[in-house]
Amino acid sequence: MKFRALIGLSLLGSWGCGAGDMEDIEVTRSPLNIATGADFKSKLTADPNGSFTLTADIDMKGAALQVAAFNGVLDGAGHTIKNVTQQQSSSSGDAGIFGTLRGTVKNLKLDNVKFKALSAGGLASQCSGVRIQSVTVTNATVEAGANAGGICGSINGSVVIGSSASGSVKSTSGFAGGLIGSSAIGRSGLGPAISSSSVASMTVTGGPAAGGLVGYCQDAVIVRAAVDAAVSGKTAAGGLCGEMNGGSINNSYAKGGNVSASAGAAGGLVGKAGFGVLTEPTDRIEIVNSYAQYTNVNASAEAGGILGTGQDPYLLEVYAVGNIAGTGAVGGLIGRAQSVSHGWTLNNGVFRGGVVNDTSRPWAGVVGVADVDADPAERWALTLFDSSLDGDPYLTTSSGQQKGVSTNALKSPTSSMEGVYCFNPPNSTRCGDSAFPSERWDAGSSNQHHILKNMPGPNSQPR
């Protein structure tokens, strides 16, 4: 730990120095080593601002282990804390290795942790202004009456890098997420940043909102996230975020069996999207170069392969695979796109699956309900759906924004600058601005679907 001390005037005078000679002196203290559960609790509690390093694995053998508040630095050095159990009523208390975390935790593994309380997280119940790097939580069972997350029950601001979780997360009355239950803007004035992080073999259940990565996303920046999770929520459910207000998702994907919302909207990546608090670079959500692959996306209301419903969402270079079902506003990529102030964008997207929204309208194509102004073509262009799986004569012949083409047509030709991936006539020598760009899309060889480049691992996109 480092601290800075200012040497007083009286001492300086005794050294024959003037006030102008005062300077800061930096003193460095080596991290304290931790080798046992008892050491962990006693030393971190005694010095919550200190710096510590694990020197051995810690097996709690089913006992509890929690430090109520920690603001320092913990380096796990690749070691594991395992078999921790802390079970309380879901109507009170915090559960997690930390109650409130405001410091840095890195290079730490947690295995077979079982936490239950009003607010719970595999690492910490509440995280504020933290840096979490290379933290792995496996075989977690996290349950809360309010917010529940595989790593943090709730988070304010903060940075999460290269971290992961697996197991099950459940909230009965709050937000649930594979990594984070609920996120908010921190004292820095920034939302949380999550990069190169993943969720695998996870079941997430929440009310009102549940997400494979984050249940409630407030102005979050998500980059290179990989999620494999089954997600169910009430008012909103999404493969990455249940409800997302502002923020962005880039080079990320979510996949699994089902995403479902029993009393609201569901989406392969985001269930429900609205405006954020921050205005730079934009207050709407942006989803770029990302995909969703779910067997089923089901909702009692809006449902979409990428987004269930959203206000002025911006979607570019996206695709979804799976079956989408809901009521009224259901689409292969977006269930309902609402135009509020900026207008919404959906360019360069593909849907491969079937859409059913009710018995009277068993088709939807790419967008279920489109809220557009007088010039929608600038915001909705070159989106394709598989008419062999989902289609209607009206959709397959409608111009402009979407095209229904057969499974075989979607796989041929192999160049992204030809055929159905271009709005110009088949023999045209140029596709224009709406062509699927080769720097983001891989056309593959013959009889293969286009997939996105620069995806995080583990990644096996369906060809």
- Is the model's pLDDT at 453 over the cut of 80? yes
- Whether the CA torsion 348, 352, 358, 364 is positive or negative: it is positive
- Is the model's pLDDT at 218 over the cut of 50? yes
Q: Number of C-alpha atoms within 13 angstroms, CB side, residue 62?
A: 0
- Is the model's pLDDT at 233 over the cut of 50? yes
Q: Name the β-bridge partners of 112.
A: none
Q: How confident is the model at residue 188 (pLDDT cuts 50, 70, 90)?
A: confident
SS (H, E, C) 36-87: CHHHHHHHHHHCCCCEEEECCCEECCCCCCCEEEECCEEECCCCEEEEEEEE
Give CA 36 to chain center in angstroms: 34
- At residue 4, the pLDDT reads 33
Write the DSSP symbol of residue 456: P
- Is the model's pLDDT at 93 over the cut of 60? yes
- Is the model's pLDDT at 85 over the cut of 70? yes
- At residue 15, the pLDDT reads 32
- At residue 203, the pLDDT reads 97
**12 phi/psi in degrees, rounded to 5:** -60, -35
pLDDT tens, position by position, 127-168? 999 999 999 999 999 999 999 999 999 999 999 999 999 999
Q: What angle do CA 356, 362, 363 make, to 5 degrees?
A: 90
Start-end of H helices in 313-436: 393-397, 407-410
CB neighbour list of residue 176: distance below 8 Å, 6 or more residues apart: 144, 147, 148, 149, 169, 170, 204, 205, 206, 207, 209, 210, 211, 215, 233, 242
Mean pLDDT of 45-68: 97
- Is the model's pLDDT at 52 over the cut of 90? yes
- At residue 13, the pLDDT reads 35
* Cα distance between residue 370 and residue 365, in whole Å: 11
CB neighbour list of residue 340: distance below 8 Å, 6 or more residues apart: 275, 311, 312
- Is the model's pLDDT at 195 over the cut of 80? yes
Q: Give the range among 107-121, 414-428, 437-451 with minimum mean pLDDT.
A: 414-428
Q: Exposed, middle or buried: residue 339 (CB in 10 Å: 0-12, 13-18, 19+)?
A: middle
* Cα distance between residue 361 and residue 328, in whole Å: 8
- At residue 374, the pLDDT reads 47
- Is the model's pLDDT at 219 over the cut of 70? yes
Q: How confident is the model at residue 12 (pLDDT cuts 50, 70, 90)?
A: very low
- Tokens representing 280 are 């730079």
CB 115 within 8 A of CB 131: no
pLDDT tens, position by position, 335-388? 999 888 878 999 899 999 988 765 555 557 898 888 765 444 357 878 889 988
- How many C-beta atoms lie closer than 10 Å to residue 4's C-beta? 8
- Is the model's pLDDT at 229 over the cut of 50? yes
CB 127 within 8 A of CB 158: yes
CB 137 within 8 A of CB 130: no
* Cα distance between residue 250 and residue 354, in whole Å: 25
Q: How confident is the model at residue 421 (pLDDT cuts 50, 70, 90)?
A: confident
- Is the model's pLDDT at 69 over the cut of 90? yes
CB neighbour list of residue 444: distance below 8 Å, 6 or more residues apart: 414, 450, 451, 463
Give CA 160 to chain center in angstroms: 11
- Is the model's pLDDT at 178 over the cut of 90? yes
- Is the model's pLDDT at 21 over the cut of 60? no
Q: Name the β-bridge partners of 244.
A: 217, 273
Element (DSSP H or E) covering residue 10: helix 9-14
DSSP string, 99-129: EEE-SEEEEEEEEEEEEEESEEESSEEEEES
- Tokens representing 147 are 């917010």
Q: How confident is the model at residue 22 (pLDDT cuts 50, 70, 90)?
A: very low
Least Cα distance to 206 among 156, 158, 272 occurs for 272
Rg of the chain over CA atoms, in angstroms?
A: 25
- At residue 7, the pLDDT reads 28
Q: How confident is the model at residue 423 (pLDDT cuts 50, 70, 90)?
A: low
> In this predicted model, which residue has the larger pLDDT, 190 or 311?
311
Average pLDDT value for the chain: 86
Q: How confident is the model at residue 9 (pLDDT cuts 50, 70, 90)?
A: very low
* Cα distance between residue 3 and residue 150, in whole Å: 33
Its pTM stands at: 0.90
**Helix, strand counts (H, E) of the chain:** 4, 43
- At residue 33, the pLDDT reads 96
Mean pLDDT of 189-198: 93
* Cα distance between residue 202 and residue 215, in whole Å: 13
